[in-house]
Amino acid sequence: MKILLTGGTGYIGSHTAIELIKQGYEVEIMDNLFNSKITVLDKIEEITGVKPKFYEVDLLDKEGMRKMFEEGKYELVIHFAGLKAVGESVEKPLKYYENNVGGTINLLECMKEFGVHKIIFSSSATVYGDQGVSELTEEMQTGVGITNPYGETKHVIEEILKDVAEADPKFEATILRYFNPVGTHESGLIGEDPNDIPNNLMPIIMKVSTGEIEKLKVYGDDYDTVDGTGVRDYIHVVDLAKGHVAAVKKMQPGISIYNLGTGKGTSVLEMIKAFEEASGKKLPYEIVGRRAGDLAEIYANPSKAERELGWKTEKTVEDAMRDTIKYLDYCASK
């Protein structure tokens, strides 16, 4: 099966490309390289022996996408491409709606024109908004209390996929709601390497450990959690990538929705401790005020993916920290 990965040189896309190639799938990658580097293709080749065909195309370049689909003759699209900086989305909502929603409409129109009926969409736990409980399950109502335009775009795209599935009986869409991806490939050759200023905890911890950022700001220690700091479900990116392979194997008509998480919550202070144990050095941090829009504690109920996809996480936060240190050492050696 020939699969197109939009945003495939990104953090999750590149790890997914590796797992798909290992399973014998033919993978092609489309990316605008706004928040990733083309050298990732060489790393994918170093790890798998295969260098995926690459198209430098933007989601808003519909003609460029049409040419790619004309050549590609794909059977399935995994749609990672999108802007994902929560803070920036608050400042620039139109940029996020145009790129994420408008770009996805372009993609879906190309799929329709060229007879591609299967899509796996990279969604996010952020679509749950504030459910008032910590453990999140797929049948919960989404789109209520989402605190940023980035999360709204993910919700709107989910709704678009549901409506397209209603209108087209041949359409098969699987929505994967990620929790908090962390870690790197065990080779240490690829990892989270954003071009933009990171918002997420792990890339910031990585930059604090290399000295690029002076210290980590812990956003609040007065939540009703195990130690007062925010609790999230940190899933190893390789487990996440394998979740996509499991989804590829179980595509079906209509809409399928799955949480991809560990089912376990870890606090910010526990993440700091895990990183310090893996790195053998103290991580400078200070407790500051809460970040607007943050919830106290959220984690996945991943039982539906286990039941229907035969997938569950195998790696731990400690594995993610170990692999991240290996990646940092590799980056420092270049």
Write out the residues near ligand WQD by the rule CB under 6 A.
84, 86, 124, 126, 151, 178, 180, 199-201, 204, 216-219, 230, 232, 268, 291, 294
Q: In degrees, to the nearest 5, what angle opens at C-alpha 231 toward C-alphas 203 and 145?
A: 95
Give the containing element (helix H, strand E) for 90: helix 86-91
Q: Are β-strands 231-232 and 266-267 bridged in parallel, bridged antiparallel, or unpaired? A: antiparallel
Of 21 and 231, the one with the shorter C-beta distance to ligand WQD is: 231
Provide the minimum distance between the beta carbon of 217 and ligand WQD in the complex, in angstroms, as a whole number: 5
Residues with catalytic roles: 150
Helices 149-167/103-113 angle, 10° precision = 20
Of 84 and 242, the one with the shorter C-beta distance to ligand WQD is: 84
Which residue number places its CB atom closest to ligand WQD? 230
Of 68 and 174, the one with the shorter C-beta distance to ligand WQD is: 174
Indicate the SS3 state at residue 122: strand
In a 13 Å sphere around the CA of 61, the CA atoms on its Cβ side amount to: 14
Beta strand spans in 125-167 (E): 135-136
Give the containing element (helix H, strand E) for 5: strand 2-6
Q: Could you give the CA distance from residue 232 to residue 255 in angstroms, rounded to a whole number?
A: 26
Provide the minimum distance between the beta carbon of 296 and ligand WQD in the complex, in angstroms, as a whole number: 8
Of 128 and 327, the one with the shorter C-beta distance to ligand WQD is: 128
